[in-house]
Amino acid sequence: MQRAAHTALYDWSHIVGPAMIRQCLKCRAPLLQSSRAYSVIPPPRDSGEKEMLDRILRVDHAGEYGANRIYAGQMAVLGRSRSGPLIQEMWDQEKKHLEKFNEIMAENRVRPTALLPLWNIAGFLLGASTALLGKEGAMACTVAVEESISEHYNSQIRALMEVDPERYTELLKVIKEFRDDEMEHHDTGLEHDAEQLPGYWLLKNAIQLGCKAAIYVSQRV
């Protein structure tokens, strides 16, 4: 029986040919990766789950969009200063976050918040106006915004873990990775004299109040 099996395998390999076998082996990994029907978001089981996932994607996309506009405003003012490369580095990470959420939103046919035009202007103005206060002002803004986004991501992580961590494994990976990046930006702001800005706590609290309002509205509109 073993000889027969060996003979059959030998005959099959000659019929198919070495070149085709090599090509099949090359294709094996992509085929295995594409066997799952989704990349990050599982197909919703019902309207309630779809609404929850749509809210998560919509508000996270809005947050990353707003962060991008804030860094754009900071770079418009401080781009040629010594702080320029540092701000650009953080902005580049935010661009990757936004690109990923754009991809997930399109894949799952989720519309963005209707307030993107407002966040476009408000984010840029916030970044530029705080940057006009100098490096410390820009870093204070970064600390406030990134702390708010990190806390928001943490609340989402807790909620998804309570519902079904295995079902939302890929989404949790994305959120946790982005949360870690935001915390790194937060720490960078503190390391670069954010707290040295006169009125730091007043500015931070005001910005975070605005962030909470933006999060609340972006989930619903």
Question: Would residue 1 count as lying in a domain?
Answer: no
* Tokens standing for residue 117: 């035009």
Q: Is 94 annotated as a binding residue?
A: yes
The predicted pLDDT at position 10 comes to 43
| 112-139 per-residue burial string, b: 16 or more CB within 10 A, e: under 16 | bbebeebbeebbbebbbebbebbbbbbb
Q: Is 146 annotated as a binding residue?
A: yes
Evaluate whether residue 33 is within a structural domain: no
Question: Binding residue per annotation — 185?
Answer: yes
Which pLDDT does position 44 carry in this prediction?
Answer: 87
Residue whose tokens read 């670069």: 192
Segments forming the whole domain that contains residue 166: 47-219
pLDDT band at 220 (very low <50, low <70, confident <90, very high): confident
Pick from 40, 185, 165: nearest CA to 110: 40
Percent of the chain beyond pLDDT 90? 77
Query: In terms of pLDDT, which residue wins out, 23 or 174?
Result: 174
User: Which pLDDT belongs to residue 38?
Assistant: 53
Distances (CA, A) of 176 to 11, 38, 53, 200: 51, 19, 16, 28
pLDDT digits (tens, 9 = 90+) for 96-130: 999 999 999 999 999 999 999 999 999 999 999 99
Would you say residue 57 lies in a domain? yes
pLDDT at 162 over 50: yes
Q: Is 171 inside any structural domain?
A: yes
Does the pTM surpass 0.85? The reply is no
97 is in an annotated binding site: yes
Is 143:194 a contact under the CB 8 Å cutoff? yes
Of residues 88, 195, 81, 207, the one with CA closest to residue 149: 207
For the cut 50, the answer to whether the pLDDT of residue 219 exceeds it is: yes
User: For residue 17, is it within any domain?
Assistant: no
130, 122 contact by CB (below 8 A): no
In a domain, 32, yes or no: no
Which phi and psi (to 5°) does residue 96 adopt? Answer: -65, -40
* Domain-embedded: residue 119: yes
Cβ atoms < 10 Å from Cβ of 153: 22
58-92: b (≥16 Cβ within 10 Å) or e: bbbbbbbbbbbbbbbbbbebbeeeebeebbeebbe
- Compute the distance between CA of residue 113 and CA of residue 133 in angstroms, rounded to an integer: 31
| Position 31 in a domain | no
Closest CA to 142 of 95, 195, 178: 195
Give the CATH number of the domain where residue 115 resides: 1.20.1260
Number of CB atoms found within 10 A of residue 194's CB: 23
Number of separate domains in the chain? 1
What's the average model confidence in pLDDT over 163-189? 95
pLDDT digits (tens, 9 = 90+) for 9-46: 344 344 334 444 344 334 333 333 333 445 788 888 89
